[in-house]
């Protein structure tokens, strides 16, 4: 049975940083920066309590939080630090109701840290779960939207003090379009809070135990370093995935388009994969892994890029020509494999109508 996580401490942050970057499949923003911001809040004497899904009251009001924008911007643009807190307060003013708990829109990357940071600032607990079980580039790709919750009203806040509230849209896909247009003049990065959800809905729709999962994954990598074991093998053993390729990046195309980082990596296999050619397509996150021209692992399953020596994750904004990497495939949660989920987060939703999703074997998940 998985450890019951009741509070995130300073000692947990290094492991959560690593685990969140692994689960982020390249996206979600750089978790190192998010870790430093959380650490600063803890050093002020603030706390980050954690609630398991099972402990949420039916009528609890839970607000989903995250950063929105292009991950490459997060490395260069310094945040003021209370963007998500201001977005949360805007939602509370708009709805006339106070939040009881916070939850991550996506466990991947820095967005794993945003609700923790805001929880410390607001004196609220954070729920051990999220709305993706990984990272996706668009707002309608949460399990909240997939399983029936409307995200409006939604609030966006930037470092300059600007707040944008979107009160209504025909659906969450339109919310994504409008918010993406608004985030560009905000400097391609902002904090985002969406309409409160009931505890009963969150228990049903959240991917469970993902803060614990990120913590456990990160600890597996750190323990492997400490005991001189293979960290890549440790990640695979923890998640039930497989090694797809060890490779050198021989070409990298990455540019900003409509608030997204889009492009692809071209790979030349080495070691056991010498002579093989690979490619990874990305839109903030890694979407499709190709081997010798054939799509092999496909969104919503997780494509993870690790440093081939250290096993540490490499996010899209940190990719460089010549890096030697290990590419892993990890199976996504069952909530992302239903017919209604695949319409929103399957390959056709990312512009691959000719590719059929072939699921990897199901992963083990932590008890909650």
Three-class DSSP category at 3: coil
Mean pLDDT calculated for residue range 19-39? 90
pLDDT band at 364 (very low <50, low <70, confident <90, very high): very low
Task: Render pLDDT for 233-267 as a digit per residue (tens, 0 to 9).
Answer: 999 999 989 999 999 999 999 876 665 778 999 99
This prediction's pTM: 0.92
Give residue 365's pLDDT band: very low, low, confident or very high (50, 70, 90): very low
b or e along 216-255 (b: 16 or more beta carbons within 10 Å of the residue's beta carbon)? Answer: bbbbbbbebeeeeeebbebbbebbebebbbbbbbeebeee
Integer Cα distance of 102 and 258 in angstroms = 28
Instruction: Assign domain 10-210 to a CATH class.
Output: alpha beta
**What does the pLDDT look like over 73-127, one tens digit per residue?**
666 667 788 999 999 999 999 999 999 999 999 999 889 999 999 999 999 999 9
Q: Is the dihedral of CA 38, 32, 207, 350 positive or negative?
A: positive
- Mean predicted confidence (pLDDT) in 60-72: 86
Pick the residue with more confidence: 323 or 368? 323
Domain ranges of the chain: 10-210, 232-350
pLDDT digits (tens, 9 = 90+) for 145-170: 999 999 999 999 999 999 999 999 99
Tell me the CATH class for 232-350: mainly beta
* Residue 211 pLDDT greater than 50, yes or no: yes
Question: Residues of the chain with pLDDT > 90: what percent?
Answer: 81
CB 101 within 8 A of CB 50: no
């Amino acid at each position: 049975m998985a450890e019951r996580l009741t509070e995130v401490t300073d000692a947990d942050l290094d492991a959560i940083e690593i685990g969140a970057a692994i689960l982020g499949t390249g996206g979600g923003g750089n978790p190192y920066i998010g870790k430093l911001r959380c650490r600063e809040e803890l050093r002020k004497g603030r706390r980050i309590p954690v609630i398991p899904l099972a402990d949420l009251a039916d009528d609890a009001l839970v607000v989903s939080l995250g950063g929105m924008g292009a991950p490459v911007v997060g490395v260069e643009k310094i945040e003021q630090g209370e963007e998500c807190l201001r977005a949360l307060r805007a939602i509370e003013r708009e709805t006339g109701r106070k939040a009881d708990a916070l939850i991550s829109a996506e466990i991947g990357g820095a967005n794993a840290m945003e609700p923790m940071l805001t929880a410390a600032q607001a004196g609220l607990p954070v729920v051990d779960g999220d709305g993706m079980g990984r990272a996706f580039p668009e707002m309608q790709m949460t399990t909240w939207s997939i399983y029936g919750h409307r995200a409006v009203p939604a609030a966006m806040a930037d470092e300059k003090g600007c707040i944008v509230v979107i009160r209504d849209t025909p659906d969450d896909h339109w919310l994504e379009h409008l918010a993406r247009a608004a985030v560009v003049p905000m400097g391609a990065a902002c904090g985002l809070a969406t309409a409160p959800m009931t505890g009963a809905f969150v228990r049903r729709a959240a991917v469970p135990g993902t803060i614990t999962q990120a913590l456990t994954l990160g600890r597996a990598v750190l323990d492997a370093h400490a005991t001189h074991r293979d960290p890549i093998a440790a990640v695979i053993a923890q998640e039930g995935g497989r090694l797809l390729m060890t490779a050198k990046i021989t070409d990298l195309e990455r540019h900003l388009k409509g608030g997204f980082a889009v492009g692809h990596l071209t790979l030349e296999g080495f070691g056991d994969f010498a002579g093989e050619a690979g490619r990874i397509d990305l839109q903030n996150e890694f979407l499709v892994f190709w081997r010798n021209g054939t799509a092999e692992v496909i969104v919503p399953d997780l494509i993870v890029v690790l440093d081939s020596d250290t096993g540490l994750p490499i996010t899209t904004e940190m990719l460089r020509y010549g890096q030697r990497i290990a590419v892993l495939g990890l199976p996504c949660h069952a909530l992302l494999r239903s017919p209604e989920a695949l319409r929103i987060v399957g390959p056709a939703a990312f512009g691959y109508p000719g590719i059929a999703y072939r699921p990897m074997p199901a992963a083990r998940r932590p008890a909650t």
